[in-house]
Amino acid sequence: MLIKRISLIKPMILIFILIPVVTQAGQNQSMQELLIGLIPEQNIFRQMDRYRPLAAYLSEKTGLKVRLTILSKYGDIVERFKSRHLDGAFFGALTGTMAIIKLGVEPIARPVNQNGTSSVRSYIFVRADSKIDSVKDMNGKRAVFVDRATVTGYLFAAAFLRENGVNDIEKYFTEYFFTGSHDSAIYSVLDNRADIGSAQNTFFNVLVSKDPTIKRELRIIARSEEFPETTLCMRKNISPGIKNSLTNTLLNMDRDPAGRDILKKFGASKFIRAEIKDFNSVFNLAKRARVDIRTYEGDR
Amino acid sequence: MIYWKLHNNYPQTAEGKIENRDTKLRIQDKGIRYFLFLFFAFSIFTLFFPPPAYSIEKKTIGVIMTGDIPYYAKMHKAFSARLSREGYGDMEILLQKPYPDQISWSNAARKLIAVDVSIIVTYGAAAALAAIRETSNIPIVYAGVHNPAAVGIAGKNTTGAVSKAPTSSLLRYLKSVTNISILGVLYSEIEKDSVKQVDEIEDISRDMGFKILKINIRRPEDIRKIKGSGKPDALFLTCSASVNMAVDAILDIARTEKLPTASMLKGENNSGIIITLSANPEEQGEMAADKVIKILKGTHPVTISPTGGKNIELIFNLKENMSLGFKLPMDLVTEATKIIQ
């Protein structure tokens, strides 16, 4: 069994060299700072392009100096939240659930996509010309996942495979690997570097909308139930004033013309209030995958 | 021992003498006893010291490698190394390197048939098709064939390693380097595999919104057509041996004309091709060797399924790209399995 591990060194060097690790979004040095973490759910360059305007907007509207930092990988996100003294983070469904349980973070808001949904799904897909139609056909093939600490890029696939009789993916696939981002998992299957992939529907749809030929080249063979979109969660002991200011600014963005522009760039129509109960679907999936969130590390 | 026990159980007369019938049997059995002794001794010896499958009759493998392009050279090196590692290192390998034309391919196959090789190994579709045309008895193992079914490589004595990498993906990456209105596609009309690739690119071009300019390269001097046949925005090198033999000259033109290049065959470590999406040649060679070993051990080729390469490499030559004045989006660069800078 060969597990190809994608080197993280190269992307990490790129993070530090080619983009500012921290985006300053506010000019007034006397402002109170708020450090918000981003999980590397998509290509870091695209992700910074997406979040930078939002941070600037929040800084302007709240009077807080909102800084962004991309966490290098999903797996140890909970540890890094503590060690880097983050005030909050845009968590994915699984990392959010882990952070709620392990750190007591509080979900405050999540975006509504431009199609009106505020949830995501996992897709398991193959190349359109592949002969893989079922789990049985996947035996001995190469699989690509995003990260162990993602619902849409791993956990759903793990549960799906288990429910279809696959107890040990290490033995079932000749090779499997983690790309660290959803779009990279999609490209891996497109390029035939992997036979089966798992990624989030929103990133899949973004790539397809930019290049319709991608849709013809990939075939979705399984879709998950809905999970909450990337959610902004704040640390438990943050001041109520800051939390409320941030929440209100996000929830009212769609009523402000400047906010609407930022939302459009972000790929959302508005933000809605988020609650802990939104994550119930993740707890249920974890049970199906026989994963205990309390002890799950999510490290590769 | 068994014999004597049986013998002692023979019926005896009241005087304790063995009957005449048994005496005769014992005399006749002497020869059988001797034969059985030798048979058992040999069986036990071979049980502990089994001979290699080929040692009884040393076999020869014929290899047809079109031209002398780095992709096939790497494949052949890996093929030979795998055979050695698996204990078949002293097999005779007859290597033929025909020029990419029909007569040379046929002659190469005929030479190997004339010396009665046990298996013919071919790199590339054209060599495989030539071998199939010339013989129906000798097993043929191919490697580095983009799409065997599409070019008619099939038969009861044929198996091999498929090197298909998605053409559309390579085009997608190439389009990210520069806007393409006209794509120059370098192929050879006598190499079916590359002709099929041209057809595939033509289909994809309609979806991706560009036109293709087919440039047929049969001889090195044909590369002049790149300059003379319209103004392509980029060059796509198919898996044609003729094209890949002329890669250095093609790259000279690409540099002069500032044309980004893409190839389906991995070349030298820093060949100058900007984007390469290729099945790993070493893996192809090893897969071919594994199939050859199976055949040598007595498996019929018809029961050995062709297999596709699992190691697809995506190589970006950032150094060359920058020197031509192009930029590759960083979000795509991170997809590369290898970066040359």
> Domain residues for B270?
167-280+312-340
DSSP category for residue B202: H
Of A39-43, B236-240, B241-245, B334-338, which range is least confident? Answer: A39-43
Instruction: Identify the pLDDT of residue B1.
Output: 36
User: Measured between CB atoms, which of A18, A174, A184 is closest to B310?
Assistant: A174
Q: What single-letter amino acid sits at B200?
A: E
User: Measured between CB atoms, which of B165, B172, B337 is closest to A211?
Assistant: B172
- B326 & B218 share domain: yes
Q: Do B166 and A184 touch (CB under 8 A)?
A: no
Instruction: Identify the pLDDT of residue B19.
Output: 45
- Beta partners for residue B214, in sequence order: B185
Q: Do A11 and B330 touch (CB under 8 A)?
A: no
B5's tokens:
């026990």
Query: Which segment, A75-84, A111-120, A190-199, B64-73, is predicted with the most confidence on average?
Result: A190-199
**Spacing of C-alpha B336 from chain mean position:** 25
Q: Quote the percentage of chain B above a pLDDT of 90.
A: 70
Instruction: Identify the pLDDT of residue B90.
Output: 86
pLDDT band at B39 (very low <50, low <70, confident <90, very high): low
The answer as to whether B276 is a domain residue is yes
- Taking the CA of residue A192 and the nearest CA in chain B, the distance in Å comes to 6
pLDDT digits (tens, 9 = 90+) for B276-318: 999 999 999 999 999 999 999 999 998 999 999 999 999 999 9
User: Measured between CB atoms, which of B277, B329, B334 is closest to A191?
Assistant: B277
Residues in B closer than 8 angstroms to A144, CB to CB, are: none
A198 within 8 A of A144, measured Cβ to Cβ: yes
A-to-B residue pairs, Cβ atoms closer than 8 angstroms: 53
- B219 & B290 share domain: no
- For residue A21, pLDDT over 80 is answered with no
Q: Do A175 and B335 touch (CB under 8 A)?
A: no
- For residue A186, pLDDT over 50 is answered with yes
Other C-beta atoms within 10 Å of A8: how many?
15
Instruction: Identify the pLDDT of residue A37.
Output: 93
User: Measured between CB atoms, which of B310, B314, B329 is closest to A191?
Assistant: B314
> CB distance from A17 to chain B under 8 Å?
no
**Spacing of C-alpha B145 from chain mean position:** 7
> CB distance from A131 to chain B under 8 Å?
no
State phi, psi for A215 to the nearest 5 degrees: -60, -40
Q: What single-letter amino acid sits at B321?
A: N
Instruction: Identify the pLDDT of residue B46.
Output: 54
> Which of A191, A196, A215 to probe by mutation at the B interface, max B CB count within 10 Å?
A191
Mean pLDDT on B154-175:
92
Domain count, chain B: 3
Mean pLDDT on A201-230:
93
Residue with tokens 């005779």: B92
The answer as to whether B55 is a domain residue is no
- B93 & B201 share domain: no
Q: Quote the percentage of chain B above a pLDDT of 70.
A: 82
- B174 & B275 share domain: yes
Residues in B closer than 8 angstroms to A9, CB to CB, are: none
pLDDT digits (tens, 9 = 90+) for B14-32: 444 444 445 444 545 666 6
Q: In sequence order, what DSSP letters do the residues of B77-100 get, joined into one string?
A: HHHHHHHIIIIITTSEEEEE---S
DSSP category for residue B19: P
For chain A, give the longest Cα–Cα distance: 61
d(CA B105, CA B126): 8
Rounded to two decimals, the pTM is 0.76
- B87 & B111 share domain: yes
pLDDT band at A31 (very low <50, low <70, confident <90, very high): low
Residue with tokens 């696959």: A166
- Taking the CA of residue B329 and the nearest CA in chain A, the distance in Å comes to 9
Question: For chain A, what is the mean pLDDT?
Answer: 87
Instruction: Identify the pLDDT of residue A8.
Output: 42
The answer as to whether B220 is a domain residue is yes
pLDDT band at A12 (very low <50, low <70, confident <90, very high): very low
pLDDT band at B217 (very low <50, low <70, confident <90, very high): very high
Residues in A closer than 8 angstroms to B312, CB to CB, are: 191-193
Q: At what angle do helices B102-114 and B125-134 cross, to 10 degrees?
A: 50
- The superfamily CATH assigns to domain A119-223 is Periplasmic binding protein-like II (3.40.190.10)
- Taking the CA of residue A252 and the nearest CA in chain B, the distance in Å comes to 32
Instruction: Identify the pLDDT of residue B154.
Output: 79
The strand pair at A231-234 and A88-91 is best described as antiparallel
Instruction: Identify the pLDDT of residue A27.
Output: 39
ipTM of the prediction greater than 0.90, yes or no: no
B113's tokens:
């048939």
State phi, psi for B115 to the nearest 5 degrees: -90, 10
- B141 & B181 share domain: no
Mean pLDDT on B136-150:
93
The answer as to whether B53 is a domain residue is no
State phi, psi for A182 to the nearest 5 degrees: -70, -45
- B181 & B157 share domain: no
The dihedral sign for the CA sequence A205, A211, A214, A215:
positive
- For residue A9, pLDDT over 50 is answered with no
Q: Do A190 and B166 touch (CB under 8 A)?
A: yes
Give the 3-state secondary structure of chain A: CEEEECCCHHHHHHHHHHCCCEECCCCCCCCEEEEEEECCCCCHHHHHHHHHHHHHHHHHHHCEEEEEEECCCCCCHHHHHHHCCCCEEEECHHHHHHHHHHHCCEEEEEEEECCCCCEECEEEEEECCCCCCCCHHHCCCEEEECCCCCHHHHHHHHHHHHHCCCCCHHHHCCEEEECCCHHHHHHHHHCCCCCEEEEEHHHHHHHHHHCCHHHHHEEEEEECCCEECCEEEECCCCCHHHHHHHHHHHHCHHHCHHHHHHHHHHCEEEEEECCHHHHHHHHHHHHHCCCCCCCCCCCC
Residue with tokens 């014929």: B62
Residues in A closer than 8 angstroms to B203, CB to CB, are: none
Of A47-61, A236-250, B240-254, B257-271, which range is least confident? Answer: B257-271
Query: B139 to each of A83, B77, B98, B300, how far by Cα in Å?
Result: 63, 21, 20, 9
Other C-beta atoms within 10 Å of A246: how many?
24
Burial label, B1 (beta-carbon count in 10 A; 0-12, 13-18, 19+)? exposed
Other C-beta atoms within 10 Å of A15: how many?
20
Domain with CATH 3.40.190.10 in chain A: 2-117+228-288, 119-223
Closest residue in chain B to residue A11, using alpha carbons only: B334
Mean pLDDT on B170-197:
95
Classify B246 as helix, strand or coil: coil
Q: Quote the percentage of chain A above a pLDDT of 90.
A: 69
Question: For chain B, what is the mean pLDDT?
Answer: 86
Query: A266 to each of A56, A98, A270, B258, how far by Cα in Å?
Result: 12, 25, 10, 36
Q: Do B164 and A10 touch (CB under 8 A)?
A: no
The answer as to whether B54 is a domain residue is no
Q: Do A191 and B335 touch (CB under 8 A)?
A: yes
Residues in A closer than 8 angstroms to B207, CB to CB, are: 212-213, 216
B307 within 8 A of B329, measured Cβ to Cβ: no
CATH code for the domain of B78 = 3.40.50.2300
Residues in B closer than 8 angstroms to A44, CB to CB, are: 334
Instruction: Identify the pLDDT of residue B332.
Output: 83
Q: Do B337 and A174 touch (CB under 8 A)?
A: no
Give, for B62, the enclosing helix (H) or strand (E).
strand B60-65
- Taking the CA of residue A38 and the nearest CA in chain B, the distance in Å comes to 17
**Spacing of C-alpha B244 from chain mean position:** 17
Instruction: Identify the pLDDT of residue B67.
Output: 85
- For residue B124, pLDDT over 90 is answered with yes
pLDDT digits (tens, 9 = 90+) for B176-185: 999 999 999 9
- B128 & B191 share domain: no
**Spacing of C-alpha B316 from chain mean position:** 25
Q: At what angle do helices A44-62 and A240-251 cross, to 10 degrees?
A: 110
Instruction: Identify the pLDDT of residue B214.
Output: 95
Mean pLDDT on B231-260:
94
Closest residue in chain B to residue A47, using alpha carbons only: B331
Mean pLDDT on A9-24:
41
Strand order across the A175-178 sheet: A2-5, A175-178, A142-145, A196-200, A122-127, A218-223
User: Measured between CB atoms, which of B168, B207, B331 is closest to A45?
Assistant: B331
- For residue B244, pLDDT over 80 is answered with yes
Instruction: Identify the pLDDT of residue B3.
Output: 37
DSSP category for residue B152: T
Of A35-39, A241-245, A261-265, B29-33, which range is least confident? Answer: B29-33
d(CA B97, CA B111): 12
- Taking the CA of residue A111 and the nearest CA in chain B, the distance in Å comes to 24
- B234 & B105 share domain: no
pLDDT digits (tens, 9 = 90+) for B78-107: 999 999 999 998 899 999 999 999 999 999
Q: Report B:254-283 residues touching A (Cβ under 8 A).
A: 277
> CB distance from B169 to chain A under 8 Å?
yes
- The superfamily CATH assigns to domain A2-117+228-288 is Periplasmic binding protein-like II (3.40.190.10)
